[in-house]
Amino acid sequence: MVHALREQGVEAEVVTTNDDGEGVLNVPLYERLEYPSHAPVPVRFFPRFSPPIPAIREFAFSGALATWLWQKITDYDLVHVHAIFSCSSTMAMAIARLKKIPYIVRPLGQLCHWSLQQGSRKKQLYLNLIERANLNHAQSIHFTSEQEQQEASALGLETPGFVLPHGLVLPSLLPDAKLRLRKSLGLPDDELIILFLSRLHPKKGLDYLIPALSHLQNHRFTLVLAGNATPDYEAEVQQLLQTTGLVARTLRLGFVKGEEKALLLQGSDLFALTSHSENFGIAVLEAMANGLPVLITPEVALAPIVERFHLGWVTPLEQSAITATLQHLLNHPTLLQQVGERAQTIVRQQYTWNQIVTNLMKQYQSILQTKALAFSNQFL
């Protein structure tokens, strides 16, 4: 997003902490640097407080970032805050309010029903004591899907919102991807590959997808799981594969990136994400841009787009329904290629970052014009 904004003449930069899960990034702190190396934009990192207590460490408190924001936030015309329920974003909104700098908030799905139910007491307390005021004083809330906006409306927030999806850096197409993928995985040239590529997490619905596939073992297919997880959930997934008899038909690749990821997305036959909740589903968009049709649930926010343009299949989050859809597709494999080609064409036309940030700039300009008008009215 920042790279595309800068290409269109907006002086945008990222301010964040060096948080990296349990550890921290090995990056220079405090100074403005070009990061990451493969697609650099200006980024300022500040040290995260790193105590041994996970709940405190995950909150990503940074006194240095708070001090810098207090001193420097007035150098900017607008702040675009990404995420809530985190110390960095909460501080940024509070300081912007005090310094009278307009800000937009992108809640990253944290206002959706499923997310609010995770650690619900703590989140509800945080929301009502702190974050609700920050959200209500924002100039706008940036949702990435209509579904996310609808779910957030139940909270009765006063701030208007707009819907603007994520964009994509369009991937280059690899020659002979299907044959190359099967060769790399040691599979027959005509093996049908069902790909799950995402973070392995209970909300991703593997507890529905894997049992659904276990009822189709008279068909030829290989399930590829690409993504990492906590050790506890890794063990849970392995146990699920064993109890359903799918161990021998499943390849677990862990986290993938670069050409390995592109080869999976372009060489597989079907992308499956039977998730309990996705405020957008960037992996789904990536799959379609690579010509891979998708099987998703209505809880994935891209589901209306998939249905409207026939880019894949949307099935209820029920094992029997997922099994029935998969069986239909395994019986009619030519459908997969046809739908994949249509998905690739439509996504590559409508979801480039240049198109997305053109609309984002209109939101920025509208907010800044409103601020300028309000300022001038003070002197009328």
Same domain, 246 and 362: no
Residue 366 DSSP one-character state: H
Range in 114-118, 224-228, 343-347, 356-360 with the lowest mean pLDDT? 114-118
**Residue 373: what pLDDT?**
63
pLDDT of 54 over the 90 cut = no
**Residue 115: what pLDDT?**
85
Same domain, 15 and 147: yes
**Helix (H) and strand (E) counts in the chain:** 17, 15
Nearest to 107 by CA among 139, 71, 144, 137: 144
Euclidean distance between CA atoms 78 and 364, whole angstroms: 8
Token pair belonging to 97 = 């309010």
Q: The pTM is what?
A: 0.84
Three-state DSSP class for residue 94: helix
CB 23 within 8 A of CB 373: no
Euclidean distance between CA atoms 312 and 295, whole angstroms: 6
Q: What's the pLDDT tens digit per position in 126-145?
A: 898 899 999 999 999 999 99
Same domain, 51 and 159: yes
Same domain, 112 and 197: no
Euclidean distance between CA atoms 219 and 341, whole angstroms: 24
Domain containing residue 246? 177-350
Same domain, 43 and 161: yes
Asked if residue 363 belongs to a domain, the reply is yes
Same domain, 91 and 10: yes
**Residue 33: what pLDDT?**
96
Asked if residue 124 belongs to a domain, the reply is yes
Euclidean distance between CA atoms 334 and 336, whole angstroms: 5
Token pair belonging to 73 = 């936030």
Same domain, 259 and 370: no
Residue 16 DSSP one-character state: E
**Residue 302: what pLDDT?**
93
**Residue 378: what pLDDT?**
52
Q: What's the pLDDT tens digit per position in 170-202?
A: 888 999 999 999 999 999 999 999 999 999 999
Average the pLDDT over 302-310 and give the result.
94
Place of tokens 């596939």: 213
Encode 160-226 in three state secondary structure: CEEECCCCECCCCCCCCHHHHHHHHHCCCCCCCEEEEECCCCHHHCHHHHHHHHHCCCCCCCEEEEE
Euclidean distance between CA atoms 24 and 49, whole angstroms: 10
Asked if residue 21 belongs to a domain, the reply is yes
Rg (CA), the chain: 22
**Residue 375: what pLDDT?**
52
What are the E-state strand segments in the chain?
14-17, 19-20, 23-24, 32-35, 41-46, 79-82, 103-106, 140-143, 161-163, 193-197, 222-226, 250-252, 270-273, 294-296, 312-314
pLDDT of 351 over the 80 cut = yes
**Residue 59: what pLDDT?**
84
Cis-peptide into 36, omega within 30 deg: yes
pLDDT of 380 over the 80 cut = no
Place of tokens 């985190």: 86
Asked if residue 200 belongs to a domain, the reply is yes
Nearest to 13 by CA among 57, 77, 67, 59: 77
**Residue 122: what pLDDT?**
85
Range in 92-96, 135-139, 275-279, 374-378 with the lowest mean pLDDT? 374-378
- How many domains are contained in the chain? 2
Same domain, 286 and 366: no
Asked if residue 172 belongs to a domain, the reply is no
Same domain, 143 and 251: no
Token pair belonging to 188 = 């027959």
Same domain, 357 and 343: no
Between the two ends of the chain, the Cα-to-Cα distance in Å is 38
Same domain, 115 and 208: no
- Percentage of the chain surpassing pLDDT 70? 98
Asked if residue 302 belongs to a domain, the reply is yes
Q: What is the CATH number of the domain that holds 69?
A: 3.40.50.2000
Same domain, 111 and 202: no
223 forms beta bridges with 194, 250
Asked if residue 280 belongs to a domain, the reply is yes
pLDDT of 379 over the 50 cut = no
Cα distances (Å, whole numbers) of residue 237 to 149, 272, 276: 32, 16, 16
Range in 140-154, 166-180, 365-379 with the lowest mean pLDDT? 365-379
Average the pLDDT over 287-291 and give the result.
96
Asked if residue 290 belongs to a domain, the reply is yes
